[in-house]
Amino acid sequence: MSACLLGVDCKYNGENNLNSKVLELLSKETLIPVCPEQLGGCPTPRVPSEIVDGDGADVLDGKARVMTKNGEDVTEYFIRGAREVLKIAQSMGIEKAIMKARSPSCGFCSIYDGTFSGKTKSGNGVTTEILKRNGISVLTEEDV
């Protein structure tokens, strides 16, 4: 579960994306909060980042980069965070993940387009992509 959806202040601006529908799931399911960007070594708060010229699959394949709004290349942090989340998921036998829609790490099927304008493009975030490649099913808070 993207930690920001459970109210953890791990978002780039030091806030969260608390989601009441996701919170309701806590009474029925065990939810493990993870923030791939923090696990990858990014500070909080941090300059927002987006995937430029591709999606999470391209980042993992070395064909696209993750850049901050200030032009810093943070690709390695995002890949490291994705691998850490996968390690946690595999060690706990996780089969399903609920991830924050449109995030460059957590987005599923749709992510911000790399122009920092709020526009989106098709594709997965880096962590969602690594989870999908390893057989973990993913949905977003909008599907809950």
Closest CA to 72 of 106, 89, 37, 48: 48
- Which is nearer to ligand SF4, 3 or 86 (by Cβ)? 3
Alpha carbon of residue 69 to chain centroid:
17
**Of 36, 54, 56, 114, the one binding ligand SF4 by CB under 6 A:** 36
Rounded distance, CA 41 to CA 32, Å?
19
55 lines the binding site for ligand SF4 (CB under 6 A):
no
Alpha helix ranges (H) inside 27-74: 36-39, 56-60
Number of residues forming the site for ligand SF4 (CB under 6 A): 12
- Which is nearer to ligand SF4, 3 or 74 (by Cβ)? 3
Residue window 10-29: x/- pattern of binding to ligand SF4, with contact defined by CB under 6 A: xx------------------
Rounded distance, CA 27 to CA 17, Å?
19
75 lines the binding site for ligand SF4 (CB under 6 A):
no
Alpha carbon of residue 83 to chain centroid:
12
Among positions 91-120, residues that touch ligand SF4 (CB under 6 A) are 100, 103, 105-106
Binding footprint of ligand SF4 on the chain (CB under 6 A): 2-4, 10-11, 35-37, 100, 103, 105-106
